[in-house]
Structure 1
Amino acid sequence: MPNTIIIGSGSYIPKKVIGREHFMDSVFYTDEGEKIDKPNPEIIQKFVDITEIENRRYLEDDEFNSDLGHRAAMEAIADAKIDQEELDYIICASNFGEVDKNGMTNFMPSMSARIKNKLGILNRKCINYDMIFGCPGWIEAMILADTLIKAKRAKLILVVGTETLSRVTDPFDRNKMIFADGAGAVVVKATDEENVGIIADATICDNNLELNYLENAPSLKKDEDRRPLYIRMHGRKIYEYALKYVPDAIKETIDKANLTIDDIDKILIHQANAKMDYAMISRLHKLYGKTDYSHDIAPMTIQEFGNSSVATIPTMFDLIRKGNMKGHQFKDKGNIVFASVGAGMNINAIVYRFP
């Protein structure tokens, strides 16, 4: 049975840096629709204290989500040194598809088809799939790619995660300061080398009471037009859910690979909220009876890039792989974990071993 290895990576981080001053004139409302009568510097500082997000990146007005995904894909293909016409599949993860500057979302044609078109791929047997799976979408796309390769349905697959969340946020919601734009991509290839690549994975879908912890909803300001829908986070419920279930899912995946936490060099966890990420990593180590560990095991980009959903993990992977994230590098034959949680609620994880 073939294994799945990453042979190229790319990312696109928008140039527009959005700092705290961007939100100084915002008017914020509570989840109950009441205006928050606190000075904006105080609101923003409390937000930074919790999330550690000082800056985030936004795309330009004349850019689209498929543009970001296309740029990351081009870089990954060039890095892999392949003929793009030989790609068997393009799998693209996103939450809102193509979004115009007025916040209108569009999935027809699909994101993967748009990216294939912008790449100029003419191969009619290069199949395009979209993965709509919340923030864990890129990891789930990787799991699908691995399944296709192990089933001998493919040898080369482009896996993209791209998002423009800045265009789907409620102007009156404090949580808009979390979200950002960006794209990351990898090219994966079938190999006959044993015990490398994706060596274990796990996915959990809790879609009962947890279904609407992340949802689309009208503005928090009640006298605004109720037709536009924005991303809405029920933060406390998400935090409690993630802390309870994500560490167990990661441990399950590590155990499935017949490894322990001591065998893991890096954990690339979705950059959702620094406080939540720290808590999940700490809880994971406690499951192994460890209270002391190096925080370098879990790199963080959220402080400067914000939460770009499906793009956070492939972007971070690309930066580390190419030596562009100070203090972090991957080891030959080393083991890393990809892990995420998001809308659905869905959780997934992968253990990946470098060739």
Structure 2
Amino acid sequence: MNCKITGTGSYIPNIITKNADFDKHEFYNTDGTNFPHDNETTIRKFKAITGIEERRYLSENLNTSDIAVLAAQKAIEDAKLDPETLDYIIVAHNYGDVKTGSVQSDTVPSLATRVKSHLRIKNSRCVCYDVLFGCPGWIEGMIHAQAFIKAGMAKKCMVIGAEALSRVIDKHDRDSMIFSDGAGAAILEATEEKGGILAHESATHSFQEAEYIYFGKSNRSEASEDVRYIKMHGRKIYEFALMHVPKAMKSCLDNSGKSINDLKKIFIHQANEKMDQAIIDRFYKLHQTKAPEDVMPMTIHELGNSSVATVPTLFDLVRKGGIKNQKLNKGDVVMFASVGAGMNINAITYQV
């Protein structure tokens, strides 16, 4: 028995925020001192490092669970699935529902339960829970779903990655320009068909790395001490990712029984263009070869970093011909890979 993706869906918010829109922001260092560059220079350097030109934000009337539902509906339709036959709904996120203008995160009931409720699924044996695993959350949810199917506990699972980072960013922190909102979903089913998930790899590095991404106060010293925002040590994350992610990817590919020459696409977390490219280059260097030019589809230029949503959204777009010069064919071997808060790493080798 194998585990294959039979349907995908995504929701990309329609509010576009370009880099130029940050020109009037007041950026500060973490100690509250003035940022050393003017905004034009800051924005130009930001673009050169991350590749991000614009990002998407939710409209005020939507929350993370709402867009998870919208992505789920598309995946269900794509899979031609009766939602009453789902055994599990797993939602990966990090901050729950944060309403516009609120400083509180709402996670009770779970976002997965909210998705099930909005989909009007009556089957009580459809079990719902959330995964908090940093940016690699959707991939980890897929690993969970496969385990349920392989153990005979499920036949059909839906895994969603959804996040509204625009609700937890500090507008006085330059790193706020990285983050965006979005949702992606996939249906994973038991099948006798060849392919599907061939191997997976997961790891948590927390001895020294646990606080590389954290919740902290605003960079603006006059801001409230009681409100917290997403923060990160960018340089440490970059060095960590380059050291550990390529090795995890290699182990995942080796365990799949496939070779580097079999690999057609790598759907890597859209964190930072320069970092992602360096990870891919190091991964191929471990195999004594160079990465093909079209092996790494990218959406970060237009969609930014939407955390758990980046990989499923990217896969959905490529799968449905939504990215120029990128396509998938039956039998293609691909890899999903991510790194994020925890610090967590994971990867899946998958045959379409």
TM-score by length of 2: 0.98
Correspondence 1:69-88 to 2 at 5 A: 69-88=68-87
Name the residue aligned to 1:229: 228
Q: CA deviation at 1:323?
A: 1.0
Name the residue aligned to 2:173: 173
Correspondence 1:325-340 to 2 at 5 A: 325-340=323-338
Name the residue aligned to 2:54: 55
Name the residue aligned to 1:200: 199
Name the residue aligned to 1:97: 96
Name the residue aligned to 2:279: 280
Name the residue aligned to 1:299: 297
Q: CA deviation at 1:222?
A: 2.0
One-letter amino acid of the counterpart of residue 150, structure 1: K
CA distance in structure 1 between the aligned counterparts of 2:310 and 2:85, rounded to whole angstroms: 27
Provide Cα deviations, 1:74-108, integer angstroms capped at 9, x if missing partner.
00000000110110110000010111112421111
CA distance in structure 2 between the aligned counterparts of 1:234 and 1:67, rounded to whole angstroms: 30
2:135 aligns to what SS in structure 1? coil
Q: CA deviation at 1:192?
A: 2.5
Provide Cα deviations, 1:124-161, integer angstroms capped at 9, x if missing partner.
11100101000000000000000000001000111100
- Give the aligned CA root-mean-square deviation in angstroms: 0.9
One-letter amino acid of the counterpart of residue 319, structure 1: L
CA distance in structure 2 between the aligned counterparts of 1:213 and 1:278, rounded to whole angstroms: 21
CA distance in structure 2 between the aligned counterparts of 1:32 and 1:49, rounded to whole angstroms: 25
2:328 aligns to what SS in structure 1? coil
Name the residue aligned to 1:270: 269
1:49 aligns to what SS in structure 2? helix
Name the residue aligned to 2:147: 147
One-letter amino acid of the counterpart of residue 176, structure 2: K
1:18 is aligned to 2:20: no
1:309 is aligned to 2:335: no
Provide Cα deviations, 1:204-263, integer angstroms capped at 9, x if missing partner.
111111000000011112221111110001000000000000000000000001122111
2:133 aligns to what SS in structure 1? coil
1:98 aligns to what SS in structure 2? coil
2:33 aligns to what SS in structure 1? coil
2:44 aligns to what SS in structure 1? helix
Moved more, 180-189 or 255-264: 255-264
Q: CA deviation at 1:37?
A: 4.2
Name the residue aligned to 1:289: 288
1:280 aligns to what SS in structure 2? helix
One-letter amino acid of the counterpart of residue 300, structure 2: I
Q: CA deviation at 1:270?
A: 0.1
One-letter amino acid of the counterpart of residue 248, structure 2: A
Name the residue aligned to 1:163: 163
Q: CA deviation at 1:295?
A: 2.2
One-letter amino acid of the counterpart of residue 326, structure 1: K
Q: CA deviation at 1:193?
A: 3.1
Name the residue aligned to 1:43: 42
Give the unaligned 5+ runs of structure 2: none
1:242 aligns to what SS in structure 2? helix
One-letter amino acid of the counterpart of residue 10, structure 1: G
Provide Cα deviations, 1:151-177, integer angstroms capped at 9, x if missing partner.
010001111000000110011100000
Provide Cα deviations, 1:251-294, integer angstroms capped at 9, x if missing partner.
0000001122111000000000001001000100110111x332
Moved more, 322-331 or 51-60: 322-331
CA distance in structure 1 between the aligned counterparts of 2:208 and 2:160, rounded to whole angstroms: 30
Name the residue aligned to 1:137: 137
Q: How many residues align?
A: 351
Name the residue aligned to 1:121: 121
CA distance in structure 1 between the aligned counterparts of 2:319 and 2:218, rounded to whole angstroms: 40
CA distance in structure 2 between the aligned counterparts of 1:162 and 1:238, rounded to whole angstroms: 22
1:10 aligns to what SS in structure 2? strand
CA distance in structure 2 between the aligned counterparts of 1:98 and 1:65, rounded to whole angstroms: 5
Give the unaligned 5+ runs of structure 1: none
Contact 2:280 2:291 in 1 (8 A): no
CA distance in structure 2 between the aligned counterparts of 1:325 and 1:37, rounded to whole angstroms: 37
Runs of 4+ that moved beyond 4 A: none
1:30 aligns to what SS in structure 2? coil
CA distance in structure 1 between the aligned counterparts of 2:119 and 2:107, rounded to whole angstroms: 18
CA distance in structure 1 between the aligned counterparts of 2:17 and 2:293, rounded to whole angstroms: 27
Q: CA deviation at 1:39?
A: 1.7
CA distance in structure 2 between the aligned counterparts of 1:324 and 1:21, rounded to whole angstroms: 26
CA distance in structure 2 between the aligned counterparts of 1:258 and 1:233, rounded to whole angstroms: 36
1:109 is aligned to 2:109: yes
Provide Cα deviations, 1:306-333, integer angstroms capped at 9, x if missing partner.
0000000000110111111111111211
Q: CA deviation at 1:71?
A: 0.4
Equivalent of residue 345 in structure 1, options 337, 343, 346: 343
Q: CA deviation at 1:33?
A: 2.3
Q: CA deviation at 1:21?
A: 2.4
Q: Percent identity?
A: 48
Name the residue aligned to 1:244: 243
CA distance in structure 1 between the aligned counterparts of 2:89 and 2:77, rounded to whole angstroms: 15
Contact 2:87 2:126 in 1 (8 A): yes
Name the residue aligned to 1:66: 65
Moved more, 99-108 or 202-211: 99-108
